[in-house]
Amino acid sequence: MNLNSRLAAGFVAIALILAGPLSFAVWSLFHLKGDSVELRDRDFGGSIALGKLRDGLRDVRHQELALLFSKDTTSRNAMDVQIKRVAALADSLKTFDLKDFARDIGASIREVASAAPAEYKAALAGDTTRADSISSRVFVPALTRADSTVLNAERSLQLRAAELVDSQTSKITQTTTASIIALVLALLIAGSISFWLTRSISGPIDDLESGMSSVAGGYLEYDLKIPNDRTDEFGRLAVSFREMTRQLMELDKLKAEFVSVASHELKTPINVIVGYLQLLDEGVYGPLTPKQTEIHKTVANQAQTLSRLVKQLLDVSRFEAGGGRLEPRQIRLDRLLKELESAFHVLALQREIVFKVDEAPGLPTEVYWDLDRINEVLGNLLSNAFKFTPRGGEVDLTISPDGSNVRVSVRDTGAGIPPEQVPRIFEKFFMADNQSAARAAGSGLGLAIAKGIVEAHRGSISCESMLGAGTTFSITLPPRVPRHSQRVVGVVG
Protein backbone atom coordinates (compact mmCIF):
# COMPACT_ATOMS: atom_id res chain seq x y z
CA MET A 1 0.00 0.00 0.00
CA ASN A 2 1.53 3.35 -0.95
CA LEU A 3 1.81 6.30 1.40
CA ASN A 4 -1.24 8.17 0.06
CA SER A 5 -3.59 5.19 0.23
CA ARG A 6 -2.29 4.30 3.70
CA LEU A 7 -2.98 7.84 4.94
CA ALA A 8 -6.41 7.89 3.24
CA ALA A 9 -7.33 4.44 4.69
CA GLY A 10 -6.19 5.56 8.15
CA PHE A 11 -8.23 8.75 8.09
CA VAL A 12 -11.35 6.99 6.72
CA ALA A 13 -11.04 4.32 9.44
CA ILE A 14 -10.71 7.01 12.14
CA ALA A 15 -13.71 8.91 10.70
CA LEU A 16 -15.83 5.71 10.61
CA ILE A 17 -14.84 4.74 14.14
CA LEU A 18 -15.70 8.18 15.49
CA ALA A 19 -18.96 8.20 13.47
CA GLY A 20 -20.12 5.08 15.43
CA PRO A 21 -20.72 6.70 18.84
CA LEU A 22 -21.95 9.85 17.13
CA SER A 23 -24.62 7.93 15.18
CA PHE A 24 -25.60 6.06 18.34
CA ALA A 25 -26.02 9.37 20.22
CA VAL A 26 -28.08 10.84 17.36
CA TRP A 27 -30.25 7.71 17.20
CA SER A 28 -30.85 7.85 20.98
CA LEU A 29 -31.67 11.57 20.86
CA PHE A 30 -34.14 10.87 18.06
CA HIS A 31 -35.94 8.32 20.25
CA LEU A 32 -35.91 10.67 23.24
CA LYS A 33 -37.42 13.34 21.04
CA GLY A 34 -40.29 10.89 20.19
CA ASP A 35 -40.92 10.29 23.91
CA SER A 36 -40.90 14.04 24.61
CA VAL A 37 -43.38 14.71 21.80
CA GLU A 38 -45.64 11.97 23.21
CA LEU A 39 -45.38 13.54 26.66
CA ARG A 40 -46.26 16.96 25.27
CA ASP A 41 -49.10 15.90 22.93
CA ARG A 42 -50.74 13.18 25.00
CA ASP A 43 -50.12 13.78 28.69
CA PHE A 44 -49.74 17.54 28.88
CA GLY A 45 -52.57 18.02 26.32
CA GLY A 46 -54.79 15.60 28.29
CA SER A 47 -54.02 17.34 31.55
CA ILE A 48 -55.01 20.74 30.09
CA ALA A 49 -58.24 19.29 28.63
CA LEU A 50 -59.14 17.73 32.01
CA GLY A 51 -58.49 21.09 33.74
CA LYS A 52 -60.81 22.83 31.31
CA LEU A 53 -63.42 20.10 31.81
CA ARG A 54 -63.28 20.53 35.56
CA ASP A 55 -63.82 24.31 35.19
CA GLY A 56 -66.62 23.62 32.70
CA LEU A 57 -68.42 21.25 35.13
CA ARG A 58 -68.20 23.89 37.85
CA ASP A 59 -69.65 26.47 35.43
CA VAL A 60 -72.53 24.08 34.58
CA ARG A 61 -73.35 23.84 38.27
CA HIS A 62 -73.22 27.68 38.59
CA GLN A 63 -75.50 28.04 35.55
CA GLU A 64 -77.93 25.52 37.04
CA LEU A 65 -78.07 27.45 40.34
CA ALA A 66 -78.61 30.69 38.36
CA LEU A 67 -81.49 29.01 36.42
CA LEU A 68 -83.15 27.68 39.59
CA PHE A 69 -82.89 31.13 41.06
CA SER A 70 -83.91 33.35 38.15
CA LYS A 71 -86.05 30.81 36.17
CA ASP A 72 -85.60 32.70 32.89
CA THR A 73 -84.67 31.71 29.33
CA THR A 74 -81.32 33.56 29.40
CA SER A 75 -80.06 31.37 32.24
CA ARG A 76 -81.47 28.28 30.52
CA ASN A 77 -79.69 29.15 27.24
CA ALA A 78 -76.40 29.85 29.05
CA MET A 79 -76.69 26.52 30.91
CA ASP A 80 -77.45 24.69 27.68
CA VAL A 81 -74.38 26.22 25.96
CA GLN A 82 -72.22 25.23 28.92
CA ILE A 83 -73.51 21.63 28.90
CA LYS A 84 -72.72 21.35 25.17
CA ARG A 85 -69.20 22.72 25.80
CA VAL A 86 -68.41 20.17 28.49
CA ALA A 87 -69.88 17.43 26.29
CA ALA A 88 -67.49 18.48 23.47
CA LEU A 89 -64.54 18.58 25.94
CA ALA A 90 -65.46 15.10 27.21
CA ASP A 91 -65.50 13.86 23.60
CA SER A 92 -61.99 15.26 23.01
CA LEU A 93 -60.58 13.16 25.90
CA LYS A 94 -60.53 10.10 23.61
CA THR A 95 -57.58 11.56 21.73
CA PHE A 96 -55.48 11.61 24.93
CA ASP A 97 -55.54 7.89 25.48
CA LEU A 98 -57.82 8.18 28.52
CA LYS A 99 -60.21 5.46 27.35
CA ASP A 100 -62.04 4.31 30.54
CA PHE A 101 -62.05 7.75 32.12
CA ALA A 102 -63.27 9.35 28.87
CA ARG A 103 -66.05 6.76 28.66
CA ASP A 104 -67.22 7.32 32.30
CA ILE A 105 -67.00 11.13 32.06
CA GLY A 106 -68.90 11.01 28.73
CA ALA A 107 -71.64 8.83 30.32
CA SER A 108 -72.03 11.20 33.30
CA ILE A 109 -72.22 14.26 31.03
CA ARG A 110 -74.75 12.53 28.77
CA GLU A 111 -76.85 11.88 31.91
CA VAL A 112 -76.55 15.58 32.80
CA ALA A 113 -77.55 16.55 29.24
CA SER A 114 -80.54 14.21 29.21
CA ALA A 115 -81.81 15.45 32.61
CA ALA A 116 -81.35 19.12 31.62
CA PRO A 117 -84.47 19.59 29.38
CA ALA A 118 -86.87 18.37 32.12
CA GLU A 119 -85.18 20.64 34.63
CA TYR A 120 -85.39 23.64 32.22
CA LYS A 121 -89.07 22.98 31.70
CA ALA A 122 -89.84 22.71 35.45
CA ALA A 123 -87.76 25.80 36.27
CA LEU A 124 -89.29 27.98 33.51
CA ALA A 125 -92.77 26.77 34.58
CA GLY A 126 -91.99 27.89 38.11
CA ASP A 127 -92.30 24.30 39.42
CA THR A 128 -89.48 24.73 41.91
CA THR A 129 -90.11 21.49 43.74
CA ARG A 130 -89.82 19.37 40.57
CA ALA A 131 -86.79 21.31 39.32
CA ASP A 132 -85.02 20.87 42.68
CA SER A 133 -85.94 17.20 42.73
CA ILE A 134 -84.46 16.62 39.20
CA SER A 135 -81.36 18.55 40.30
CA SER A 136 -80.74 16.59 43.49
CA ARG A 137 -81.69 13.20 42.05
CA VAL A 138 -80.03 13.20 38.66
CA PHE A 139 -78.23 16.43 37.78
CA VAL A 140 -75.99 17.04 40.77
CA PRO A 141 -74.98 13.35 41.30
CA ALA A 142 -74.09 13.06 37.59
CA LEU A 143 -72.05 16.29 37.77
CA THR A 144 -70.32 15.10 40.98
CA ARG A 145 -69.52 11.72 39.33
CA ALA A 146 -68.10 13.47 36.29
CA ASP A 147 -66.06 15.77 38.51
CA SER A 148 -64.56 12.95 40.58
CA THR A 149 -63.79 10.92 37.42
CA VAL A 150 -62.00 13.99 36.05
CA LEU A 151 -59.99 14.15 39.27
CA ASN A 152 -59.10 10.43 39.02
CA ALA A 153 -58.16 10.90 35.35
CA GLU A 154 -55.89 13.79 36.29
CA ARG A 155 -54.19 11.69 38.95
CA SER A 156 -53.72 8.78 36.56
CA LEU A 157 -52.35 11.16 33.95
CA GLN A 158 -49.85 12.58 36.45
CA LEU A 159 -48.80 9.04 37.32
CA ARG A 160 -48.39 8.12 33.67
CA ALA A 161 -46.38 11.30 32.97
CA ALA A 162 -44.13 10.62 35.98
CA GLU A 163 -43.52 7.06 34.72
CA LEU A 164 -42.70 8.37 31.26
CA VAL A 165 -40.29 10.99 32.68
CA ASP A 166 -38.68 8.27 34.85
CA SER A 167 -38.23 5.99 31.85
CA GLN A 168 -36.83 8.89 29.81
CA THR A 169 -34.39 9.75 32.59
CA SER A 170 -33.14 6.17 32.76
CA LYS A 171 -32.91 6.05 28.94
CA ILE A 172 -30.86 9.29 28.98
CA THR A 173 -28.54 7.80 31.63
CA GLN A 174 -28.12 4.60 29.63
CA THR A 175 -27.54 6.54 26.42
CA THR A 176 -24.98 8.80 28.10
CA THR A 177 -23.09 5.79 29.55
CA ALA A 178 -23.21 3.89 26.27
CA SER A 179 -22.10 6.99 24.33
CA ILE A 180 -19.18 7.60 26.71
CA ILE A 181 -18.05 3.95 26.50
CA ALA A 182 -18.41 3.99 22.71
CA LEU A 183 -16.50 7.28 22.52
CA VAL A 184 -13.67 6.02 24.75
CA LEU A 185 -13.43 2.82 22.68
CA ALA A 186 -13.52 4.83 19.45
CA LEU A 187 -10.81 7.18 20.75
CA LEU A 188 -8.64 4.21 21.78
CA ILE A 189 -9.02 2.56 18.38
CA ALA A 190 -8.52 5.91 16.56
CA GLY A 191 -5.44 6.56 18.76
CA SER A 192 -4.00 3.12 17.91
CA ILE A 193 -4.60 3.70 14.21
CA SER A 194 -2.93 7.15 14.42
CA PHE A 195 -0.01 5.65 16.36
CA TRP A 196 0.41 2.88 13.78
CA LEU A 197 0.14 5.43 10.94
CA THR A 198 2.70 7.76 12.53
CA ARG A 199 5.06 4.85 13.31
CA SER A 200 4.81 3.45 9.82
CA ILE A 201 5.80 6.87 8.44
CA SER A 202 8.23 8.21 11.04
CA GLY A 203 10.21 4.92 11.32
CA PRO A 204 11.43 4.91 7.70
CA ILE A 205 11.87 8.71 7.73
CA ASP A 206 14.14 8.47 10.81
CA ASP A 207 16.04 5.63 9.16
CA LEU A 208 16.51 7.63 5.94
CA GLU A 209 17.48 10.73 7.93
CA SER A 210 20.18 8.79 9.82
CA GLY A 211 21.36 7.31 6.52
CA MET A 212 21.57 10.73 4.89
CA SER A 213 23.44 12.30 7.79
CA SER A 214 25.88 9.37 7.76
CA VAL A 215 26.50 9.94 4.07
CA ALA A 216 26.86 13.70 4.72
CA GLY A 217 29.42 12.85 7.43
CA GLY A 218 31.33 10.70 4.93
CA TYR A 219 30.25 7.26 6.17
CA LEU A 220 28.82 5.51 3.14
CA GLU A 221 28.21 2.07 4.59
CA TYR A 222 25.10 2.92 6.59
CA ASP A 223 22.79 -0.09 6.61
CA LEU A 224 19.17 1.03 6.02
CA LYS A 225 16.55 -0.96 7.90
CA ILE A 226 13.94 -0.41 5.15
CA PRO A 227 13.84 -3.57 3.02
CA ASN A 228 14.47 -3.12 -0.71
CA ASP A 229 11.39 -5.11 -1.67
CA ARG A 230 9.03 -2.68 0.06
CA THR A 231 6.67 -1.46 -2.64
CA ASP A 232 5.73 2.00 -1.32
CA GLU A 233 7.56 5.34 -1.63
CA PHE A 234 9.92 4.40 1.21
CA GLY A 235 10.90 1.21 -0.57
CA ARG A 236 11.72 3.21 -3.71
CA LEU A 237 13.67 5.78 -1.65
CA ALA A 238 15.63 2.96 0.00
CA VAL A 239 16.52 1.53 -3.42
CA SER A 240 17.70 5.00 -4.59
CA PHE A 241 19.63 5.53 -1.35
CA ARG A 242 21.44 2.19 -1.71
CA GLU A 243 22.22 2.91 -5.35
CA MET A 244 23.52 6.38 -4.42
CA THR A 245 25.86 5.07 -1.69
CA ARG A 246 27.04 2.26 -3.98
CA GLN A 247 27.97 4.80 -6.67
CA LEU A 248 29.62 7.10 -4.12
CA MET A 249 31.73 4.22 -2.79
CA GLU A 250 32.65 3.28 -6.34
CA LEU A 251 33.66 6.88 -7.04
CA ASP A 252 35.67 7.04 -3.84
CA LYS A 253 37.49 3.87 -4.77
CA LEU A 254 38.16 5.13 -8.31
CA LYS A 255 39.48 8.42 -6.93
CA ALA A 256 41.78 6.67 -4.48
CA GLU A 257 42.97 4.31 -7.23
CA PHE A 258 43.69 7.28 -9.47
CA VAL A 259 45.71 9.05 -6.76
CA SER A 260 47.48 5.78 -6.03
CA VAL A 261 48.43 5.24 -9.66
CA ALA A 262 49.43 8.90 -10.15
CA SER A 263 51.63 8.96 -7.05
CA HIS A 264 53.16 5.62 -7.98
CA GLU A 265 53.99 6.98 -11.44
CA LEU A 266 55.54 10.07 -9.82
CA LYS A 267 57.75 7.97 -7.57
CA THR A 268 60.09 6.75 -10.35
CA PRO A 269 61.06 10.18 -11.80
CA ILE A 270 61.47 11.59 -8.28
CA ASN A 271 63.71 8.69 -7.30
CA VAL A 272 65.80 9.31 -10.43
CA ILE A 273 66.10 13.04 -9.52
CA VAL A 274 67.03 12.22 -5.90
CA GLY A 275 69.56 9.62 -7.13
CA TYR A 276 71.29 12.05 -9.50
CA LEU A 277 71.30 14.75 -6.81
CA GLN A 278 73.06 12.29 -4.51
CA LEU A 279 75.64 11.46 -7.20
CA LEU A 280 76.18 15.21 -7.75
CA ASP A 281 76.62 15.64 -3.99
CA GLU A 282 79.16 12.81 -3.85
CA GLY A 283 81.22 14.55 -6.62
CA VAL A 284 80.76 11.70 -9.12
CA TYR A 285 80.31 14.32 -11.86
CA GLY A 286 83.11 16.53 -10.66
CA PRO A 287 83.38 19.15 -7.91
CA LEU A 288 80.59 21.74 -7.56
CA THR A 289 81.21 25.48 -7.25
CA PRO A 290 79.88 27.12 -4.04
CA LYS A 291 76.93 28.59 -6.02
CA GLN A 292 76.16 25.18 -7.54
CA THR A 293 76.36 23.58 -4.05
CA GLU A 294 73.83 26.10 -2.76
CA ILE A 295 71.47 25.46 -5.67
CA HIS A 296 72.00 21.70 -5.24
CA LYS A 297 70.96 21.94 -1.56
CA THR A 298 67.73 23.80 -2.41
CA VAL A 299 66.83 21.34 -5.18
CA ALA A 300 67.65 18.38 -2.92
CA ASN A 301 65.40 19.76 -0.16
CA GLN A 302 62.52 20.23 -2.57
CA ALA A 303 63.05 16.78 -4.03
CA GLN A 304 62.92 15.28 -0.49
CA THR A 305 59.67 17.14 0.26
CA LEU A 306 58.18 15.94 -3.01
CA SER A 307 59.30 12.40 -2.30
CA ARG A 308 57.71 12.46 1.21
CA LEU A 309 54.48 13.91 -0.14
CA VAL A 310 54.23 11.28 -2.84
CA LYS A 311 54.94 8.55 -0.27
CA GLN A 312 52.17 9.84 2.03
CA LEU A 313 49.72 10.12 -0.85
CA LEU A 314 50.59 6.62 -1.96
CA ASP A 315 50.10 5.21 1.55
CA VAL A 316 46.75 6.83 2.07
CA SER A 317 45.41 6.18 -1.39
CA ARG A 318 46.34 2.48 -1.17
CA PHE A 319 44.61 2.35 2.16
CA GLU A 320 41.49 4.03 0.77
CA ALA A 321 41.48 2.02 -2.44
CA GLY A 322 41.39 -1.07 -0.27
CA GLY A 323 38.10 0.18 1.22
CA GLY A 324 39.82 2.17 3.98
CA ARG A 325 39.16 -0.58 6.45
CA LEU A 326 41.06 -0.88 9.70
CA GLU A 327 42.54 -4.17 10.70
CA PRO A 328 42.37 -4.06 14.46
CA ARG A 329 44.27 -6.57 16.53
CA GLN A 330 45.30 -7.11 20.10
CA ILE A 331 48.09 -4.71 21.16
CA ARG A 332 50.00 -4.65 24.44
CA LEU A 333 50.14 -0.99 25.47
CA ASP A 334 53.51 -1.31 27.25
CA ARG A 335 55.06 -2.87 24.14
CA LEU A 336 53.67 -0.11 21.91
CA LEU A 337 55.16 2.55 24.19
CA LYS A 338 58.51 0.79 24.41
CA GLU A 339 58.80 0.58 20.62
CA LEU A 340 57.95 4.27 20.19
CA GLU A 341 60.45 5.21 22.91
CA SER A 342 63.28 3.29 21.27
CA ALA A 343 62.32 4.57 17.79
CA PHE A 344 62.61 8.21 18.86
CA HIS A 345 65.37 7.77 21.45
CA VAL A 346 68.20 8.26 18.92
CA LEU A 347 66.53 11.31 17.39
CA ALA A 348 66.19 12.84 20.88
CA LEU A 349 69.90 12.27 21.55
CA GLN A 350 70.89 13.72 18.16
CA ARG A 351 68.77 16.80 18.68
CA GLU A 352 69.59 17.15 22.38
CA ILE A 353 65.92 17.04 23.31
CA VAL A 354 64.69 15.51 26.58
CA PHE A 355 62.27 12.75 25.55
CA LYS A 356 60.09 11.18 28.25
CA VAL A 357 57.48 8.45 27.99
CA ASP A 358 55.01 8.25 30.83
CA GLU A 359 52.40 5.56 31.49
CA ALA A 360 49.69 6.44 34.06
CA PRO A 361 48.16 3.71 36.25
CA GLY A 362 44.68 2.31 35.58
CA LEU A 363 45.22 1.53 31.90
CA PRO A 364 44.07 -1.68 30.23
CA THR A 365 46.98 -4.03 29.52
CA GLU A 366 45.78 -4.67 26.01
CA VAL A 367 43.84 -2.66 23.46
CA TYR A 368 42.28 -3.61 20.15
CA TRP A 369 43.45 -1.14 17.48
CA ASP A 370 44.97 -1.15 13.96
CA LEU A 371 48.64 -1.16 15.03
CA ASP A 372 50.11 0.12 11.75
CA ARG A 373 47.66 3.01 11.56
CA ILE A 374 48.09 4.03 15.20
CA ASN A 375 51.88 3.85 14.79
CA GLU A 376 51.48 6.15 11.79
CA VAL A 377 49.47 8.66 13.88
CA LEU A 378 51.79 8.63 16.89
CA GLY A 379 54.86 8.63 14.64
CA ASN A 380 53.53 11.72 12.88
CA LEU A 381 52.73 13.56 16.13
CA LEU A 382 56.19 12.73 17.58
CA SER A 383 57.99 13.67 14.33
CA ASN A 384 56.18 17.02 14.34
CA ALA A 385 57.06 17.57 18.01
CA PHE A 386 60.77 16.88 17.33
CA LYS A 387 60.60 18.94 14.11
CA PHE A 388 59.32 22.08 15.86
CA THR A 389 61.25 21.79 19.15
CA PRO A 390 64.65 23.49 19.42
CA ARG A 391 67.77 22.00 21.01
CA GLY A 392 67.40 21.70 24.80
CA GLY A 393 63.61 21.45 24.61
CA GLU A 394 61.34 18.66 25.82
CA VAL A 395 59.00 16.16 24.20
CA ASP A 396 56.69 13.96 26.34
CA LEU A 397 54.56 11.01 25.32
CA THR A 398 51.93 10.34 27.98
CA ILE A 399 49.32 7.62 28.02
CA SER A 400 46.52 7.66 30.59
CA PRO A 401 42.97 6.41 31.13
CA ASP A 402 40.12 8.79 30.17
CA GLY A 403 36.90 7.32 31.51
CA SER A 404 36.56 4.03 29.67
CA ASN A 405 38.84 5.32 26.87
CA VAL A 406 42.58 5.62 26.48
CA ARG A 407 44.19 9.02 26.06
CA VAL A 408 47.57 9.51 24.38
CA SER A 409 49.18 12.97 24.50
CA VAL A 410 52.29 14.28 22.75
CA ARG A 411 53.56 17.48 24.38
CA ASP A 412 56.47 19.60 23.23
CA THR A 413 58.08 22.85 24.30
CA GLY A 414 58.58 23.95 20.71
CA ALA A 415 57.51 26.82 18.48
CA GLY A 416 53.77 26.56 19.09
CA ILE A 417 51.06 27.46 16.58
CA PRO A 418 49.46 30.92 16.10
CA PRO A 419 46.12 30.65 18.04
CA GLU A 420 43.94 31.67 15.08
CA GLN A 421 45.43 28.81 13.03
CA VAL A 422 44.91 26.02 15.57
CA PRO A 423 41.33 25.26 14.36
CA ARG A 424 42.64 24.74 10.79
CA ILE A 425 45.51 22.49 11.74
CA PHE A 426 43.75 19.26 10.69
CA GLU A 427 42.84 20.54 7.23
CA LYS A 428 44.52 18.84 4.28
CA PHE A 429 47.71 20.63 3.11
CA PHE A 430 47.36 23.30 5.79
CA MET A 431 50.66 24.46 7.26
CA ALA A 432 50.80 27.09 10.00
CA ASP A 433 52.94 30.24 9.86
CA ASN A 434 55.65 28.62 11.97
CA GLN A 435 57.59 26.90 9.20
CA SER A 436 60.69 28.94 10.00
CA ALA A 437 60.95 26.94 13.25
CA ALA A 438 60.65 23.61 11.41
CA ARG A 439 63.74 21.50 10.88
CA ALA A 440 62.43 20.11 7.58
CA ALA A 441 59.84 21.08 4.99
CA GLY A 442 56.41 19.45 5.41
CA SER A 443 53.41 18.65 3.26
CA GLY A 444 50.51 19.56 5.53
CA LEU A 445 49.00 16.09 5.11
CA GLY A 446 50.19 14.30 8.27
CA LEU A 447 47.57 15.67 10.71
CA ALA A 448 44.71 15.24 8.22
CA ILE A 449 45.70 11.58 7.87
CA ALA A 450 46.04 11.25 11.66
CA LYS A 451 42.55 12.69 12.19
CA GLY A 452 41.07 10.29 9.62
CA ILE A 453 42.68 7.28 11.28
CA VAL A 454 41.68 8.34 14.82
CA GLU A 455 38.07 8.94 13.76
CA ALA A 456 38.01 5.59 11.97
CA HIS A 457 38.84 4.11 15.40
CA ARG A 458 35.80 6.05 16.74
CA GLY A 459 38.14 8.31 18.67
CA SER A 460 38.94 12.02 18.65
CA ILE A 461 42.02 14.20 18.30
CA SER A 462 42.60 17.71 19.63
CA CYS A 463 45.35 20.30 19.79
CA GLU A 464 46.29 22.91 22.37
CA SER A 465 49.10 25.29 21.62
CA MET A 466 50.72 28.45 22.84
CA LEU A 467 52.89 30.39 20.42
CA GLY A 468 56.53 30.26 21.54
CA ALA A 469 55.75 27.93 24.47
CA GLY A 470 54.77 24.60 22.96
CA THR A 471 52.03 22.35 21.67
CA THR A 472 50.11 19.34 22.96
CA PHE A 473 48.23 16.93 20.71
CA SER A 474 45.85 14.49 22.44
CA ILE A 475 44.06 11.53 20.99
CA THR A 476 41.32 9.64 22.79
CA LEU A 477 40.51 6.13 21.61
CA PRO A 478 38.11 3.47 22.81
CA PRO A 479 40.06 0.42 23.99
CA ARG A 480 38.27 -1.78 21.46
CA VAL A 481 37.43 -0.76 17.94
CA PRO A 482 34.96 -3.03 16.11
CA ARG A 483 36.72 -5.38 13.71
CA HIS A 484 35.47 -3.83 10.46
CA SER A 485 35.19 -0.31 11.68
CA GLN A 486 34.50 2.92 9.88
CA ARG A 487 36.63 3.76 6.90
CA VAL A 488 39.15 6.61 7.02
CA VAL A 489 37.30 9.46 5.36
CA GLY A 490 38.22 12.38 3.18
CA VAL A 491 41.98 12.25 3.51
CA VAL A 492 42.76 12.23 -0.16
CA GLY A 493 40.70 14.22 -2.65
Question: Which residues of the shown chain bind ligand ADP in the complex (CB under 6 A)?
Answer: 380, 384-385, 388, 412, 414-415, 417, 425, 431-432, 434, 442-447, 471
Nearer to ligand ADP, 10 or 414 (CB): 414
**Which residue lies nearest ligand ADP, judged by its C-beta?**
442
Q: Which is nearer to ligand ADP, 120 or 355 (CB)?
A: 355
Identify which of residues 207 and 412 has a Cβ nearer to ligand ADP in the complex.
Answer: 412
Instruction: Tell me whether residue 10 or residue 442 sits nearer to ligand ADP (CB atom).
Output: 442
Nearer to ligand ADP, 324 or 446 (CB): 446
- Closest approach, Cβ 357 to ligand ADP, in A, equals 17
Nearest-approach distance from CB 323 to ligand ADP, in angstroms: 24
Q: Rank residues 67 and 448 by Cβ distance to ligand ADP and give the closer one.
A: 448
User: Between residues 142 and 340, which has the closer beta carbon with respect to ligand ADP?
Assistant: 340
333/432 with CB nearer ligand ADP: 432
Give the shortest CB-463-to-ligand ADP separation in angstroms: 8
Least gap, CB of 493 to ligand ADP (angstroms): 16
**To the nearest whole angstrom, how small is the minimum distance from the Cβ of residue 492 to ligand ADP?**
14
d(CA 220, CA 325): 12
Least distance to ligand ADP, CB of residue 427, Å: 9
Which residue lies nearer to ligand ADP by CB, 45 or 490? Answer: 490
Closest CB 450 distance from ligand ADP, rounded Å: 7
Q: How far is the CB of 455 from ligand ADP (least distance, A)?
A: 15
Measured CA to CA, the distance from residue 305 to residue 311 in angstroms comes to: 10
CB of 286 to ligand ADP, least distance (A): 35
